[in-house]
Amino acid sequence: MTDYNTTIHPLGRAAGAVFTFSRLYETHGPFTLNGHRLDQLVNVHLLLDSSTSVTTSATHATTTSDASGVLGRAVVGGIVGGGTGALIGATTGGKTTKATSSAVETRSTDLTVKLEFHDGYALHAIISDQRAYHWLLAFVEQEPASEADLEEQRQQAETLRERTILEARAHELMPMRPLSSMGPGPVILGVGCVLAVAVLAVPISLGVAIGIWLAVMVVLTPLVTVLVQRSNAEDLAQAKSKYDAKIERLIASFDENGNPPPGAVDRIRNGSGLEQ
């Protein structure tokens, strides 16, 4: 949900006061405004429209000179008055000025409304954004959530809340190890790079031109870099997948109080079963 706390304000309250928007069940259920369900909103009555529109205009002028006219006037000026006449002739007449104008319209929304709910409760508000106004209107057109829908969404919120708590507990008991301790890929590639440099150093000892060796290194270095980066990414993805699977096993072992059996963390981390 877009944060409408900054565009839907209480009317007649202290400066800085805001409405509270939330879900009925924290993460699920209908939206609420100060605890009142918006799916039970029956009317958004427009009391006053104080919106304004300001148009700002700007004019830009561009002046150009006719080059052929300048040359002609310089010639005529030179005939009449010599060098000085040529200067005077070149700097007079033959200029065109074009003016262009642009207008920018700035709109400011300021709506005073009365929000009426199904149970007779009413709120007065100032709305400073058209999207927020239409967001409220959409609730008027929809049917209120049924008791069955509310119960289903309440259970979904409860399941998500419990799952979040269990995941946090599992990550606390078995934090993810750093990438450096996961998988041999980067180590193998590092050894390979050292061996490659050692093999390429042989031509130097045999008197092969240093330029050829440098050219080979220029080609090999970015290739090895790409391979190392790809290996690191693959190792990280593989390690993350294995870690997520272990977290699931750990969560499945929790008792009703959110605690695993004794020694379960070490056995799951080492890849062994949970059997004693």
Q: What is the pLDDT of residue 122?
A: 94
Residues facing residue 36 across a β-bridge: 33
The reply to whether 76 and 99 lie within a common domain is yes
What distance in Å separates the CA atoms of residue 50 and residue 60, rounded to the nearest whole number? Answer: 33
Question: Which of 97, 127, 161 is where one domain is finished?
Answer: 161
Positions of the chain with pLDDT under 70 = 1-2, 13-16, 60-61, 63-95, 97, 179-221, 224, 272-276
C-alpha dihedral (173, 175, 181, 182), degrees to nearest 10: 100
What distance in Å separates the CA atoms of residue 268 and residue 242, rounded to the nearest whole number? Answer: 11
Answer yes or no: is 228 within a domain.
yes
Domain that holds residue 100: 53-107
Q: What is the pLDDT of residue 226?
A: 72
The reply to whether 130 and 25 lie within a common domain is yes
Question: Which of 119, 139, 161 is where one domain is finished?
Answer: 161
**Residue 141: CA atoms inside 13 Å, Cβ hemisphere, count?**
5
Taking CA atoms, 75 is separated from 4, 88, 89, 93, 261, in Å, by: 72, 10, 8, 14, 106
Distant-in-sequence, close-in-space partners of 87: CB < 8 Å, separation ≥ 6: 74, 77
- Looking at this protein, which amino acid is placed at residue 174? M
Q: What is the pLDDT of residue 88?
A: 47
The reply to whether 248 and 116 lie within a common domain is no
Its pTM surpasses 0.85: no
Q: What is the pLDDT of residue 14?
A: 60
Distant-in-sequence, close-in-space partners of 98: CB < 8 Å, separation ≥ 6: 61, 62, 63, 64
Domain count of the fold of the chain = 3
Dihedral over Cα of 7, 12, 17, 19: its sign: negative
Answer yes or no: is 276 within a domain.
no
3-class state of residue 36 by DSSP? strand
3-class state of residue 113 by DSSP? strand
Answer yes or no: is 222 within a domain.
yes
- Looking at this protein, which amino acid is placed at residue 276? Q
Taking CA atoms, 48 is separated from 96, 112, 120, 122, 124, in Å, by: 51, 5, 21, 16, 11
The reply to whether 21 and 147 lie within a common domain is yes
Q: Are 44 and 115 in contact (CB under 8 A)?
A: yes
What distance in Å separates the CA atoms of residue 185 and residue 265, rounded to the nearest whole number? Answer: 26
DSSP state at residue 26: B
What distance in Å separates the CA atoms of residue 260 and residue 244, rounded to the nearest whole number? Answer: 16
The reply to whether 209 and 199 lie within a common domain is yes
What distance in Å separates the CA atoms of residue 243 and residue 271, rounded to the nearest whole number? Answer: 10
The reply to whether 8 and 142 lie within a common domain is yes
Question: Which of 63, 91, 107 is where one domain is finished?
Answer: 107
Q: What is the pLDDT of residue 272?
A: 66
Answer yes or no: is 166 within a domain.
no
Q: Which two tokens stand for residue 192?
A: 């390979």
Q: What is the pLDDT of residue 25?
A: 95
